[in-house]
Amino acid sequence: MEDDSLQKLRKEIDRIDRQILELLNKRAGLALKIGEIKRKKGILFYDPVREKNLISNLVKINKGPFPDDTIKSLFREILSATLALQESQKITYLGPEGTFTHLAAIKYFGSFAQLEPLDNIKSIFESVEKGLSRFGVVPIENSNEGTVTFTLDMFMQYEVKIAGEIIIPISHHLLSLTGDKKKIKKIYSHPHAKAQCREWLNKNLPNIPLYDVASTAEAAKQASIHEEVAAIASEFAANLYGLKFVAKHIEDYKHNYTRFFILGKHFPGKTGSDKTSIMFSLQDRPGALYNALKPFKDAGINLTKIESRPAKMRKWEYIFFVDFIGHIEDEKVKSTLSEVQNYCIELVHLGSYPIFE
């Protein structure tokens, strides 16, 4: 027989759960009314500024025992489910299912979003530009491997904006159907993941051949089919493909993160904690880059990234990509970019978006 105090506490939890259910449905009803107003006025349904402010305010008043990260995750799922009620929005990402980009899309948009994998980064840019998908998710840089240059190159070809960013920790595991290290005859992985686990592989499985595949998810898929194959992939992929852990956290450097861009046709309004991305081209002459960057220093604007890529159509000329703190609607940013423009052949605003927290 259960203790009376335990029964009493469970009854109280049941009562609270019913209240939560009632309030969630009440919230959904209000959100549907807002959706109708947005539809009539032609306002975009997804509002990252509203979402960021809502979650930030809830975290500020959170007194526990739930930690702040749990509150963020819970309410992001509530917002994702609510948005799905208002409008079905297709979001494309670099597939197949189980990639880190897939995980980034879920963490940003929630598990209720309509996510669709595409085979390559170019297809995602094209889908967003043509309006076939509302948003796209692509990798832009890894803390160990550096910039995904192909993503930068696509900004020269497609008219899309950066609507957001998300940064997720990257941890690699050795996975197989059996979880038995002795049965492994081949290891599949993406070249970047393989490179990030090189020391561990040389030390623990020096005689096992390594094979490159298009993604860690594809590696996991192959491991789910062949018992003698192991994959270097994520825990997310392990769960998706029904694999067991041979070894966990085999990456050589534990502080490994990948940053992803959220692509859209529009960029959000200012939140007060924003980042802006631009690209510009310069005349090939001494001091050109110095002159273009000096206005940022003079204005006290913090540059967080600068990268150069060859201009595909002009020999020996380069396109520069710059991220800095601030929003295009800030007066200081406007005046600074106006000055920078004087030194550029061309300057393109790629987007302003909330800083990932």
Domains of the chain by range and CATH? 16-86 (1.20.59.10), 90-168+257-264 (3.40.190.10), 173-247 (3.40.190.10), 274-354 (3.30.70.260)
Q: What is the pLDDT of residue 197?
A: 93
Find, among 249, 109, 245, 82, the residue nearest to 169 by Cα.
249
Report residue 192's pLDDT band, with 50, 70 and 90 as the boundaries: confident
- Confidence band for 316, pLDDT divided at 50, 70 and 90: low
Distance CA 1, CA 89 (A): 51
Residue 29: its pLDDT value, please?
Answer: 92
Residues 6+ apart with CB under 8 A from 57: none
Region 340-347: mean pLDDT is 91
Q: What's the CA gap between 111 and 98, in Å, rounded?
A: 13
Least confident range from 44-48, 197-201, 345-349: namely 44-48
What backbone phi and psi angles, to 5 degrees, belong to 219?
Answer: -60, -45
Provide CB contacts within 8 A for 80, sequence distance 6+: 109, 110, 111, 112, 113
Is 60 exceeded by the pLDDT of residue 287? yes
* DSSP class of 221: H
**Which range is most confident: 73-77, 137-141, 308-312?**
137-141
Summarize pLDDT for 149-191 with one digit per residue, the tens: 899 999 989 999 999 999 999 899 999 999 999 999 999 999 9
pLDDT band at 314 (very low <50, low <70, confident <90, very high): low
Q: Residue 309 corresponds to which tokens in the numbers above? A: 């890529």
Nearest residue to 146 (alpha-carbon basis) of 249, 259, 255, 251: 259
Q: Are 175 and 239 in contact (CB under 8 A)?
A: no
pLDDT at 1 over 60: no
- Residues ≥6 apart with Cβ < 8 Å to 196: 144, 145, 170, 172, 251, 252, 253, 256
CB 163 within 8 A of CB 135: yes
- Cα within 13 Å of Cα(266), Cβ side: 11
pLDDT number for residue 312: 66
User: How far is C-alpha 197 from the chain's CA centre?
Assistant: 22
pLDDT, position 306: 94
b/e per residue 306-315 (b: at least 16 CB within 10 A): ebebeeeeee
The per-residue pLDDT of the chain, averaged, comes to 91
Sign of the Cα torsion 90, 95, 101, 106 reads positive
> How many percent of the chain have pLDDT more than 70?
98
Q: Report CA-CA distances (Å) from 266 to 110, 128, 206, 247, 284.
A: 20, 11, 49, 43, 32
pLDDT of residue 313: 62
Q: What is the pLDDT of residue 88?
A: 76
Mean pLDDT of 271-277: 93
Does residue 263 or residue 288 have the better pLDDT?
Answer: 263
SS3 130: coil
306 Cα distance to chain centroid: 20
pLDDT in tens, 77-92: 898 888 888 877 899 9
